[in-house]
Structure 1
Amino acid sequence: MLADTGGYNGDHQRLTKLSENMRAKSRINNPLLATRIMSAAQAAALIKPGATVGMSGFTGSGYPKAVPAALAERMKASPFKINVLTGASTAPELDGLLAAVDGIATRLPFQSDPICRQRINDGHIDYIDCHLSEVSQYVWSGFFGKLNVAVIEVSAIREDGLLIPSSSIGNNKTWLEQAEHIILEVNYQQNLRMEGMHDIYYGTALPPQRKPIMLTEAGQRIGEQYLRCDLNKVIAVVETDSADRNTAFKAPDDDSRRIAEHILNFFEREIEAGRLPKTLLPIQSGVGNIPNAVLEALDSGPYKNLSAYTEVIQDGMLTMLKSGTLTMASATAFSLSPAGIAEFNANIELYRDKIILRQQDISNHPEVARRLGVIATNGMIEADIYGNVNSTHIMGTRMMNGIGGSGDFARNGYLSIFMSPSTAKQGHISAIVPMVSHVDNTEHDVKVIVTEQGLADLRGLSPRQRALTIIDNCAHPDFREALHDYFARACASGRGMHTPHLLNEALSWHERYESSGSMRSGRK
């Protein structure tokens, strides 16, 4: 799979180097496709200006490495733009390079590259922030127009033309089916022993032809091991030998550990109340250091025989699978640190029986999340006193990354937990505010909010009850008094007691930060 070469080294012009050993044993076993092998530059020349291109990749794994770089070089010499659709975030070799040469006109559904983010916020890229579960349906329905080209990374091509997927599935099934033309990148760094880990389901359909997805357990297989491909649509095959992006996770800090402790204490109370079994329910975990801290805490707790139905396999899940805390993990991609990659490759026989990679319209499917009763844990930028969550926008206008899959699971899971440190920017920003500057997950979908200060269980509470619970349990002490003052004056205003607000002050905390650099009253 995912050999560790030290990660992306900052050299955007690095060349793909194919080893003599790789040349001796080709992974392109179909005779027809073997005749279509060409260089990345030759393949990139087949993509026309203005094309809509479906690229593989999800959270820095399984994305094409060579064709995007060659495409960026071509754009640098003769500027033009394309529309880029992926599974989720990719890496600097794709999003970063194309954004740096101003080569992206429209981007969806999720990104995390700093150059791409800056281009979006400068207005140079039209960004469509979508629920990840819906992208495939949107493309099938023609909402984004015709998909001209699919550029898909695979581990190998079988003699019969079936494709062995690499370290992510994402939207690859849809791209292969919908694209007029296909370019395949065969990456020799991907571990061939992943074969058999994937589960591609070909039973989806558009309304009114839909049938129930008969998936009742996280570890259940309902599809096929390989991606189907119309060989007549393949216009190029490019050989690569490049590692996935791999980012080291930070060790959990004190805030992350406290957040994890609050969540585990909550689980214990739910078990005692009979609302959760001792094996909990399938876990969905967002990506990052706080979710990994929660996974680490679960692994050190009394839990055994847990399962995960999520988007991404992170380091913490490998640890849990190895220890037996987790018996099965279903996802659509890996997102591992260099240490996690080494661990996976060293023990792949163990993990292959415990991990299933699915396409994202199944890994994130609302029907399945509701049926399995998923426990969703995701990060947030801010929450307001009534439980609305902003996961995407800084100060209401500047895109961070995107909503990703959090909404898929928050609305449809059994429990939706959002977590964040209570402050940011050295204490100048409060994560708990009178009104969020942008809403991604409404108060109707948010069940639990957690900061290092405490946990607010919002189930069964009216808006005013939620406000006091969130302020008292989650707000940092430096902002708690101001939040109580705002809420008390809103209640006394007579403007409506169901969800009291002072409209002229609701976003004043954000305005204060924009003008003075701090949400703290009176600070300059």
Structure 2
Amino acid sequence: MLTHPRSGATFQWKDLLKSGDRIFIGSNAAVPSALVDDLITHRGELRDIEATHILTLEDHWARREYDDLFKVNSLFIGGDNVRQAIAEGRADYTPSFLSEVPRLFSDRILPLDAALVMVTPPDEFGYCSLGVSVDVVSAAVKNARHVVALVNPNMPRTNGHSFIHIDQISAWMDSDKPIPELAPPQLDQVTEQIGQYVSLLIEDGATLQLGIGKIPDAVLRYLGNHKDLGLHSEMISDGVIDLIRKGVINNRRKTFHKGKTIATFCMGTRDLYDFVDGNPHVEFYPAEHVNSPVKIARNDNMVSINSAIEVDLTGQVVADSIGYKFYSGIGGQVDFIRGAALSKGGKPIIALPSTTKDGKISKIVAQVTEGGGVVTSRGHVHYVVTEYGIASLRGKSIRERALELIRIAHPRFRRELLNEVRKYYWVPEYQEQMPTPVPELGPVEMKKYTFDGIEYTLRPLHPADERKLQEFFYTHNKETLMMRYNHHVTHMSREKSCSLVSVDQEKDLALCFTDQEEGEVIQGVGRYYYIEANNSCEVAFVIKESRRGKGIASTLLKEMEQVARMRGIDKMIAAVRRDNKPMLAVFENRGFVSKPGDDMGEVYLELDLKSKGSEREL
């Protein structure tokens, strides 16, 4: 029964609505299903009510049997009933950034006759909390002609800008139905691998935004050893609870809303709802605040993690449709991708499996599928992550982007993608070698090292490193060029650089050390060439002059030796100019011994990998 909050007077739905009106239905886990059921039961002569909403955990009103009462206009497609209704033409989808949905209500682009929402019981001052879903509900209650509330004692009382006074409520009814829950997703090996890669992009002190689904939960699982993380996120889920309790997420280094976890809604289990209930460290704000790119950017080192349906080889992100079939919505992806891009030290990340679940279709595509909607432009994204690695797109040309994205595509589709992209002249004919992995470096094929207070990444050279290797070459002085190449090399052409980064890593090996002080810059390169005739490999390396004497060369040699041992190679050899004392010392410290050679100007060095006595600390 609908009653007035103060007088107790009773209402019928016809007292609040007329046929053809537009209503808003509360969001996510705060969907007021009992109110909708009451409206269905006591509809009387009401017809053609437009029901607008974002994602809701229940959506039975979109079934065909209620078509004469409701015409759904979804601002974010979530449930199966809504998705089917849109596919059948019985419902509409209106794309909008979540940060801009409130203005659709306030500017009366979508004027609301009533907002149906779920709230907590009022406190002694008459204030109810919007609980687990403030998002666009806050704007709806401010702009609707009538607010009809479902008062539920099971709704958590959340802090922040989450309150509505009973004088703002036209009518309400009681319900103690449990809040809808969202079980934690079951993680598979692919998702775990993606989570591990993404965690490598997150530095101590970063502030995080996490989207919906398995990948954000997988990322959280790999953050246990991080320090001083913050949260400024559209959504939070069960995955944050342990990290907050352990102090990994403490918000101390945030530069906006310092000391607080900020969200606009949460979805999860009852444990999560109990965790946010009255928690002074977690605050909920409206979407126009939390999702504002300008406000997001006020957090330094903002990391935004979202997913996609497919990504093309230029970096365009399709996220709301599968071809012509609308599947979800824009939501907050662009809000946070843009906010993170504007943030000092920010990282906008798109993370997705390399293929569909059955493995038959690549999600890294040469062209966007016909009918697919580009939600996030090619200019927005800095990183794309699959289970095969991290593609860095910021500042990359179309050709470089294509090579980076092909590298993280499923191996079964890489050749096809390279051939397809060649039709558009993004990749020259001299680029032939497909990216190959170096699994001996570990499951993420990269390692972190710190030398002289600077953090470096050890990783394989990639085909897209062509320009970086050119830049590395042109930093060398004449002495370095003479010591490394034994003659004065004056230039490094694109073709030559391409040949040096296009390595069959399953046979030969090419590793590099990079840092991020001024973008990603190569500071050292080490490689070996496999000699099949005697199961040996010839090794060489070069380090930027300004980074020598810090341990980079020794570490490169150690890592290459470890890979060679794991591959069953019998020995490593090297030829070093006799006057190159520093390089000779690096080899000798790793146990290489001098052997007679034909060239008096060079020292021939050899390391027997079969002898246990030759092993150093690896």
Is the pair's TM-score, using the shorter chain for normalization, greater than 0.5? Answer: yes
Partner secondary structure for residue 32 of structure 2: coil
State the alpha-carbon separation in 1 of the partners of residues 382 and 14 from structure 2: 47
Residue 174 (structure 1) aligns with: 139
- Secondary structure at the residue paired with 2:376? coil
Task: Give, in angstroms, the shift of residue 321 of structure 1.
Answer: 0.8
What's the counterpart of residue 335 of structure 1?
267
Structure 1 vs Structure 2 CA RMSD: 2.6
Query: Is residue 2:406 matched to residue 1:460?
Result: no
Tell me the SS of whatever aligns to 2:121. Answer: strand
Out of 364, 386, 391, the position equivalent to 1:432 is 364
Of 39, 43, 68 in structure 2, the residue corresponding to residue 71 of structure 1 is 39
CA offset digits 1:374-433 (Å, max 9, x no partner) = 211001100000100000111x21111111111111122132111111111411111011
Q: Residue 53 of structure 1 is aligned with which of 23, 40, 51?
A: 23
Deviation at 1:228, TM superposition (A): 4.2
- After superposition, the C-alpha distances for 1:244-267 in whole angstroms (9 at most, x for unaligned) are 221212232111111111112233
- Residue 164 of structure 2 corresponds to 227
CA drift of 1:157 comes to 2.3
Counterpart for residue 251 of structure 1: 186
Do the aligned partners of residues 316 and 43 (structure 1) sit closer, same or farther apart at CA in structure 2, a change above 3 Å counting? same
Shift of 1:104: 3.5
Look up the match of 2:148: 183
Which amino acid in structure 1 is aligned with residue 50 of structure 2? N
2:282 alignment partner in structure 1: 355
**Could you tell me how far apart the structure 1 residues matched to 2:90 and 2:223 are?**
43
Q: Which moved more, 1:243-252 or 1:425-434?
A: 243-252
Q: 1:53 offset after TM fit, Å? A: 0.9
1:177-236 CA distances to partner (integer Å, 9 max, x unpaired)? 211112111112224xx3xx4222xxxxxxxxxxxxxxxxxxxxxxxx6324644xx432
* SS state at 2:425 partner: helix
Listed one character per residue, the Cα deviations across residues 36-87 of structure 1 (whole Å, up to 9, x for unaligned) are 4658xx4477332221112222x3x222121111223456x8673322233x
Partner SS state of residue 331, structure 2:
coil
Alpha carbons of structure 1 residues 344 and 91: separation in structure 2 relative to 1, 3 Å: closer
Q: 1:405 maps to which residue?
A: 332
Distance 1:332 1:154, change over 3 A: same
Contact 2:13 2:42 in 1 (8 A): no
* Equivalent AA in structure 2 for residue 403 of structure 1: I
The corresponding residue for 2:416 is 482
More moved, 326-335 vs 113-122: 326-335
Q: Residue 313 of structure 1 contacts residue 329 of structure 1 at CA under 8 Å; is this kept in 2?
A: no
- Which residue type is aligned with residue 142 of structure 2? E
Q: Which amino acid aligns with 1:316?
A: G
Alignment-derived partner of residue 8 in structure 1: none
Larger radius of gyration: 2
2:376 is matched with which residue? 441
Q: Which runs of 4+ in 1 moved over 4 A?
A: 228-231
C-alpha separation in 1, matches of 2:403 and 2:14? 57
Over 3 Å counting, the alpha-carbon distance change for 1:162 and 1:104 in structure 2 is same
State the match for 1:279 in structure 2.
Answer: 205
Q: Matches of residues 78-477 of structure 1 in structure 2 within 5 Å?
A: 80-86=47-53, 88-92=54-58, 95-100=59-64, 101-102=66-67, 103-144=69-110, 146-158=111-123, 160-191=125-156, 194=157, 197-200=158-161, 226-228=163-165, 230-231=167-168, 234-267=169-202, 278-280=204-206, 282-299=207-224, 302-327=225-250, 328-337=260-269, 341-342=270-271, 344-345=273-274, 352-373=279-300, 374-394=302-322, 396-413=323-340, 414-437=346-369, 438-472=373-407, 474-477=408-411
> Which protein is richer in strand relative to its size?
2
SS at match of 2:195: helix
Q: Which amino acid aligns with 1:33?
A: P
Pick 1 or 2: higher relative contact order, CA cutoff 8 A, min separation 6.
1
Q: How many residues align?
A: 408
Superposition deviation, residue 442 in structure 1 = 0.6
* C-alpha contact (below 8 Å) 2:97/2:331 kept by paired residues: yes
Contact 1:313-1:331 at 8 Å conserved across structures: yes
Name the TM-score, length of structure 2 as normaliser: 0.62
* 1:106 Cα deviation from its structure 2 partner: 4.2
For residues 90 and 210 of structure 2, the distance between their equivalents in structure 1, rounded to whole angstroms, comes to 32
For 2:227 and 2:310, the matched residues in 1 are separated by: 33
User: Would the alpha carbon gap of residues 175 and 265 (structure 1) be closer, same or farther in structure 2, given more than 3 Å must change?
Assistant: closer
Q: TM-score, normalised by structure 1?
A: 0.73
**Distance in 1 between the 2:427 and 2:153 partners?**
66
Stretch deviating more after TM superposition (130-139 or 163-172): 163-172
Q: Secondary structure at the match of 1:66?
A: helix
Distance change (3 Å), C-alpha of 1:62 and 1:488: same
Q: Which consecutive unaligned segments of at least 5 residues does structure 1 have? A: 1-15, 17-27, 201-224, 272-277, 495-524
Distance 1:169 1:50, change over 3 A: same
Q: 2:214 corresponds to which letter in structure 1?
A: N
* TM-aligned CA distance change 1:70 to 1:492, over 3 Å: closer
Please say if residues 36 and 235 of structure 1, whose CA atoms lie closer than 8 Å, have aligned partners that are also in contact: no
Do the aligned residues in 2 keep the contact of 1:252 with 1:289 (CA within 8 Å)?
yes
- Counterpart code for 1:127: Y
Gaps of 5+ in 2: 251-259, 341-345, 429-618
- SS of the counterpart of 1:290? helix
Q: Which amino acid aligns with 2:52?
A: L
Of the three residues 484, 491, 506, the one matched with 2:425 is: 491
Query: Alpha carbons of 1:141 and 1:38: their partners in 2 closer, same or farther (altered >3 Å)?
Result: same
